[in-house]
Structure 1
């Protein structure tokens, strides 16, 4: 979803950790839900995520709250923040010299995925370009990025200057 508005408040991670640790100590799922005021489905999700430290419910034992992991919320991202900054810079530079349309920018994003060898959706491999929804979100995160139509005639000085900048960026990685 592009503009998802959360309907419930975020849960305090320390309370979630305490509830999961209490379940390991012998409290039932329903009792922990009532005590901590957290829905059973949420507690069940976090209990399943911590099965390595909660191997057997038949043996209650003390669990340190710091051992309990809380799964991060939100969508999985393709690029890290640093990789996205590099991609943004590359798109700026490329757009300044050549001009890019949306499909070319999506194709460059896919080529960057292959270069840095990160996991991406299967549709990217099938289409050999980033998805349209990803691109819309990327443009939303980087509103200064303006894609222009490619120029018909490229001057050789612009091409030489572009590749000089390109190789300097690649060497810094």
Structure 2
């Protein structure tokens, strides 16, 4: 999760490969009207986001399609959005990809073929509610290193947390 340009799709693909589970790009779940809005440089509003979040949540919760779980790249900028996803898929974990706005803007300006223009970064940053200690299911991850190192770090954190959880259950 995080603003556009933080590497959500690249990290999600790498993490899914590491974990041996499928991944879904949340961008593919946006309604055509929402994509058209963003392509035109218009920020989404909650009314645009709620149905999209419901589609993301349904994909997270679909154990028939992905019995071992799924990784989804999704902005989930506000706490209410994350809570909606948590309700759809209990036990959900978030990885908050975070970096300096100048780095994110540079990445957005350099990428090609994406409908989200760099001009919308400021609106995303304004919408972002940074996860805090009240959301213990969020791993905070800086984006100022290669994707492979980010993925390895996330994988190590998830493994460590799973081992800690297992130790608490068997203690």
TM-score by length of 2: 0.24
Query: Which one has a bigger Cα radius of gyration?
Result: 1
Higher relative contact order by CA 8 Å / sep ≥ 6: 1 or 2? 2
TM-score by length of 1: 0.24
